[in-house]
Amino acid sequence: MLKPIVFYGPCQSKMLFHVEGKVVGPKHYWEFGKSGFWILFYKLEKLTILGGTYDAQGSDYWACRKSQSQCSQGTKSITIIQSRNVVVKGIKSLNPQMFHLAIDHCHQVLLKKLYIEAPTRSPNTDGIHIMSSEGITIAGAVIKTGDDCIAIGPGTKNVHIRGVHCGPGHGISIGSLGLHTHEAGVENVFVTDSVMTRTQNGLRIKSWGRKTTSFVRNVVFENIAMENSYNPIIIDQNYCPYNKNCPGMVNT
């Protein structure tokens, strides 16, 4: 059992974080504290994360969310921030409170041979969530979760995704973008040779309908098989998930 932990850099040499067994989080969601992270890697270079099963036991937190009680913000299972030349290979992530794997402000990250799973109705459990990063490659992953299998957020460019089996889940999504007036865009995203099965969406681009500096350009979806995907391809430029205080909406 592991409570929240942070591995701080910078460090002077290559690092290997190797797990051969199973790591589990605390049973009660409040034991994770308020940091928003379970396992955090920060300002590291030439890091390899290899193997192991990570089970955050998030059902207690999902139940709190469902009851509309005052819960904590929730934690991401594995987060990598401001790091460079990172390899994540052969890990298995189960039942996070929120995201399974988050990549934020990173350069040159390879994610390979991943298995990611959470129940279909688990809220906000993105499989891989990428923000403000460059040079991200996902090569082979099975993702079954309650939200986006892969989510690509503002400030991300040069992303290559191949060999992903997604479903159940909400598909592969770019956005949402344009929530803020001054916001970075997304460019050079290539998704190939992947499968969507029983997903809410297949391939999705979503942006808020307001004036913004954000953008999406140079995106390729190629050789994607979809089976029982409710919205196989959806491009939504008036994204407003709860239909409240939407841009241009007149409240009555």
Give the residue, 68 or 113, on which the prediction is more confident. 113
Mean pLDDT for 121-144 is: 97
136 Cβ contact list (under 8 Å, min separation 6): 103, 106, 109, 111, 130, 156, 158, 159, 160
User: pLDDT value at position 249?
Assistant: 59
Identify the band that residue 242 occupies on the pLDDT scale cut at 50, 70 and 90. confident
Q: Which of 39, 33, 35 is nearest to 2 (CA)?
A: 39
User: pLDDT value at position 246?
Assistant: 87
70 Cβ contact list (under 8 Å, min separation 6): none
Is pLDDT of 252 > 80? no
Statement: the pTM of the whole predicted model exceeds 0.85: yes
Mean pLDDT for 139-157 is: 98
Q: Which of 241, 121, 134, 118 is nearest to 187 (CA)?
A: 134
Catalytic residues, by residue number, are 170
Query: What pLDDT, in 10s, does the model give residues 72-115?
Result: 889 999 999 999 999 999 999 999 999 999 999 999 999 999 99
